[in-house]
């Protein structure tokens, strides 16, 4: 497999080099951007990058095309907007995913966790937390290592990823218990050579005990929503989770924005759907298609991806998910997909019902032949 696993995610203070420059990831505090912050990011993306903005699967905002020369000025602008952490270590710890439909208790818990991040042990760069404890769970398909959720009876529970049951906690004890579970993960051998995920530790049969023992099942989870009006505002989507800075600037004029892990943005309080070029405002097969930046935008990609993804989207079987990946790393969609196309030097491998690292059903299919495969007819 011709790819390199970095073992960490880009940040603002620690960007990652890509084919079109540095990728600078901004982690919105509490998953939310004020109108001033969103407009400021749009201006900064134009001034210091190439104007392209990505929404990540961890509900972050990524600015593309930044250079080593423009990066310091970009950080200065983002610092003025209150979007930059004190240092790289603090930034890496703030890997917190909050339900876009957060209620007041969820936001209080998130704020407490942010205040107490310094109490966490040293954790792997990709280790993250999901606060999915509003009225309904919606983050079940989004990767995390430690989750705060609700049980069927409404009780707050703390669950290790990979475990079926969570430990009952209260709003007063939840964050202390979360920190204790992170400490247990390290003490139980969850970190190897600086890397590790909770689900892998749980898969080895290791379980937390004492007050962290799981006794309650989480409530059933809803699937990711489609664009449309919600009780919290208007959900709007973007093709492959990417937009131009100019579009973000316009969205900022509508109000505060909650960034979601579904390649969508929630416009807080909006009661009508905006009609703007570049927005996806209703369900479409494109929302079931995942495609990374591809070549030449990514240094590891072996082929372009997004033109092929657009071409195949209308031909997907009903409800099927397609992942087009520039390499076997599969960044755009780490979970299994119904159909996955993985770029090779000679074409694309086709994988069914697995991740980008699964066993191919067909190997090195030439680009021109892919639309004629029976899976897309």
With bands split at pLDDT 50, 70 and 90, how would you rate the model's confidence at 318? confident
255, 356: one domain:
no
320-335 burial, b if ≥16 CB within 10 A, otherwise e? ebbbbbbbbbbbbbee
pTM score: 0.92
Task: Provide the CATH number for the domain around residue 292.
Answer: 3.30.413.10
73, 127: one domain:
no
- 263 occurs within a structural domain: yes
Q: Tell whether the model's pLDDT for residue 2 goes beyond 80.
A: no
Nearest to 182 by CA among 118, 234, 136, 239: 118
- 227 occurs within a structural domain: no
Q: Range of 58's domain?
A: 16-87+232-268
Q: What is the mean pLDDT of the chain?
A: 95
Average pLDDT over residues 348-358: 96
For the chain, the straight-line distance linking the first and the last C-alpha, in angstroms and rounded, comes to 29
Alpha-carbon gap, residue 217 to 149, rounded angstroms? 10
191, 247: one domain:
no
Crossing angle (nearest 10°) for helices 174-187 and 104-115: 50
Q: Tell whether the model's pLDDT for residue 134 goes beyond 80.
A: yes
Q: Tell whether the model's pLDDT for residue 4 goes beyond 70.
A: no
Judge contact between 92 and 59, C-beta under 8 A. no
- Give the number of other CB atoms < 10 A from CB of residue 199: 14
192, 260: one domain:
no
109, 208: one domain:
yes
Counting residues of the chain whose pLDDT is more than 70, the rounded percentage is 98
The residue among 164, 183, 212 that closes a domain is 212
Alpha-carbon gap, residue 298 to 4, rounded angstroms? 12
Judge contact between 343 and 326, C-beta under 8 A. yes
- 11 occurs within a structural domain: no
330, 359: one domain:
yes
294, 365: one domain:
yes
Q: Tell whether the model's pLDDT for residue 84 goes beyond 80.
A: yes
Confidence (pLDDT) at 21? 95
Confidence (pLDDT) at 70? 98
- 280 occurs within a structural domain: no
Written as six digits, the tokens of 248 are 């973000």
Q: Tell whether the model's pLDDT for residue 214 goes beyond 60.
A: yes
Residue 77 sits at φ, ψ, to 5 deg, of -65, -40
Alpha-carbon gap, residue 322 to 107, rounded angstroms? 34
Q: DSSP H helical segments within the chain, as ranges?
A: 35-48, 71-80, 88-93, 104-115, 174-187, 198-203, 245-252, 306-312
The residue count for the chain: 377
Residues 6+ apart with CB under 8 A from 341: 308, 322, 323, 324, 325, 348, 349, 350, 351, 370
- 349 occurs within a structural domain: yes
Alpha-carbon gap, residue 313 to 349, rounded angstroms? 17
- 3 occurs within a structural domain: no
Q: What is the pLDDT of residues 226-243, one digit of tens each?
A: 999 999 999 999 999 999
Give the DSSP letter of residue 220: P
Task: Provide the CATH number for the domain around residue 28.
Answer: 3.90.480.10
Confidence (pLDDT) at 7? 58
Q: Tell whether the model's pLDDT for residue 1 goes beyond 80.
A: no
Confidence (pLDDT) at 9? 78
238, 178: one domain:
no
With bands split at pLDDT 50, 70 and 90, how would you rate the model's confidence at 264? very high
- 96 occurs within a structural domain: no
- 92 occurs within a structural domain: no
Count of domains for the chain:
3
237, 330: one domain:
no
269-305 burial, b if ≥16 CB within 10 A, otherwise e? ebeebeeeeebbbeeebbbbbbbbbbbebbbbbbbbb
51, 117: one domain:
no
With bands split at pLDDT 50, 70 and 90, how would you rate the model's confidence at 153? very high
| Burial class of residue 235, CB neighbours in 10 A (0-12, 13-18, 19+) | buried
Looking up tokens 């379980």 gives 207
Looking up tokens 């084919």 gives 19
290, 357: one domain:
yes
């Amino acid at each position: 497999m011709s790819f390199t696993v970095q073992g960490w995610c880009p940040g603002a203070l620690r960007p990652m080099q890509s084919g079109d420059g540095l990728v600078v990831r901004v982690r919105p505090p509490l998953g939310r951007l004020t109108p001033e912050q969103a407009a400021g990011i749009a201006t900064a993306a134009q001034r210091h990058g190439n104007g392209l903005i990505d929404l990540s699967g961890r509900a972050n905002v990524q600015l593309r095309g930044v250079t080593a020369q423009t990066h310091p000025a970009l950080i200065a602008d983002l610092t003025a907007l209150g979007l930059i952490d004190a240092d790289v270590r603090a930034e890496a710890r703030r890997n917190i995913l909050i339900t876009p439909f957060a209620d007041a208790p969820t936001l209080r818990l998130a704020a407490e966790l942010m205040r107490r991040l310094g109490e966490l042990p040293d954790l792997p760069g990709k280790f993250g937390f999901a606060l999915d404890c509003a009225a309904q769970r919606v983050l079940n398909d989004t990767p995390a290592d430690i989750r705060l959720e609700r049980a069927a009876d409404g009780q707050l529970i703390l669950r290790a990823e990979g475990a079926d049951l969570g430990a009952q906690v209260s709003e007063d004890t939840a964050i202390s218990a979360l920190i204790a579970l992170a400490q247990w993960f390290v003490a139980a051998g969850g970190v190897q050579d600086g890397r590790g995920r909770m689900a892998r530790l749980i898969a080895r049969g290791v379980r937390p005990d004492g007050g962290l023992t799981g006794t309650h099942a989480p409530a059933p989870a809803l699937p990711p929503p489609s664009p449309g009006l919600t009780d919290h505002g208007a959900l709007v989507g973007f093709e492959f989770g990417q937009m131009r800075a100019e579009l973000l600037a316009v969205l900022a004029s509508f109000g505060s924005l909650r960034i979601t892990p579904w390649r969508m943005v929630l416009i807080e309080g909006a009661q009508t759907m905006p009609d703007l070029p570049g927005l996806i405002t209703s369900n479409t097969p494109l929302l079931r298609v995942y495609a990374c930046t591809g070549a030449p935008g990514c240094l590891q990609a072996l082929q372009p991806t997004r033109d092929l993804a657009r071409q195949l989207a209308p031909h997907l079987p009903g409800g099927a998910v397609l992942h087009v990946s520039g390499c076997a790393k599969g960044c755009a969609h780490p979970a299994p997909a119904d159909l996955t196309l993985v770029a090779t030097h000679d074409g694309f491998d086709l994988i069914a019902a697995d991740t980008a690292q699964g066993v191919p059903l067909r190997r090195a299919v030439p680009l021109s032949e892919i639309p004629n495969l029976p899976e897309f007819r």
